[in-house]
């Protein structure tokens, strides 16, 4: 069991409907020391790969991705969930379904900040069906940016997002892969 799996076992709360609450350390309150350790672990796993930008999606991935960008000393770009008054019309767009919120949203990045000179590390907190990730990959593809790797905190291994992304040939590094959870007993089984 690695440091993140240990923390999930200790502080994660399993709810009905395969919901895992990690609000106390990852996506409401963020334990910065833990996230720093995660960032160093990703840096080790993506060792030698050229990274010029970290890309994530608002909102809960931003804290994680900011620490990773800080350790790589590169800019952070976060995809926004809808077009706001403060964004130009010149956008790359993709459609994303949210498992948590039961909604479909449009995610966008400005064309000014993503292009063929970017070597991108995608960071997010959760991977389930892979829709958010496929949206982020699509934004990179539209921009002809190079997806160098994908770092995920927690992958729900019993959903098919991870398999889909790996089958596409991406280096996907999930720090904790959950094979099953039981809300009644609170048990979480991690993949070896």
Q: Does 186 contact its own copies by CB under 8 A?
A: no
- Give least dist CB 169 to its own copies, A: 27
Instruction: Specify the long-range contacts of residues 96-105, CB closer than 8 Å, at least 24 apart.
Output: 96/57, 96/131, 96/132, 96/134, 96/135, 97/129, 97/131, 98/131, 98/132, 99/128, 99/129, 99/131, 100/19, 105/81
Smallest separation, CB 2 to its own copies (Å): 21
Contact flag: residue 69 with its own copies (CB under 8 A): yes
- Residue 115: helix, strand or coil by DSSP? coil
Quick one: which of 141, 143, 89, 137 has its CA closest to 113?
Answer: 143
Residue of the chain from 10, 47, 84, 185 that contacts its own copies (CB under 8 A) = 84
The least distance separating its own copies from the CB of residue 69, rounded to whole angstroms, comes to: 5
Asked whether position 42 contacts its own copies by CB under 8 A, the answer is no
Per CB under 8 A, which region of 44-52, 63-71, 132-140, 164-172 contacts its own copies? 63-71
- The C-alpha angle with vertex 91 and arms to 85 and 97, in degrees rounded to 5, equals 90
Sites of contact with its own copies (CB under 8 A): 15, 17, 19, 21, 23-24, 27-33, 35-36, 58-60, 62-67, 69-70, 73-78, 80-81, 84-88, 100-102, 109-110, 112-113
């Amino acid at each position: 069991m690695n440091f993140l799996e240990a923390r999930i076992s200790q502080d994660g709360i399993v709810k009905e409907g395969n919901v895992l609450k990690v609000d106390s350390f990852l996506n409401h309150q963020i334990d910065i020391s833990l996230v720093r350790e995660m960032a160093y672990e990703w840096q080790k796993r993506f060792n030698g790969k050229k990274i010029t930008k970290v890309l994530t999606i608002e909102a809960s991935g931003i804290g994680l991705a900011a620490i990773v960008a800080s350790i790589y000393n590169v800019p952070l770009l976060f995809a926004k969930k809808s077009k706001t008054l403060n964004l130009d019309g010149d956008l790359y767009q993709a459609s994303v379904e949210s498992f948590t919120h039961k909604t479909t949203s449009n995610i966008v990045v400005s064309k000014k900040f993503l292009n063929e000179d970017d070597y991108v590390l995608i960071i997010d907190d959760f991977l389930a069906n892979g829709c958010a990730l496929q949206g982020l990959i699509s934004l990179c593809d539209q921009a002809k940016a190079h997806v160098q790797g994908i770092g995920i905190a927690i992958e729900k291994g019993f959903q098919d997002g991870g398999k889909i992304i790996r089958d596409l040939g991406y280096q996907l590094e999930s720090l904790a892969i959950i094979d099953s959870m039981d809300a009644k007993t609170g048990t979480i089984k991690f993949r070896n």
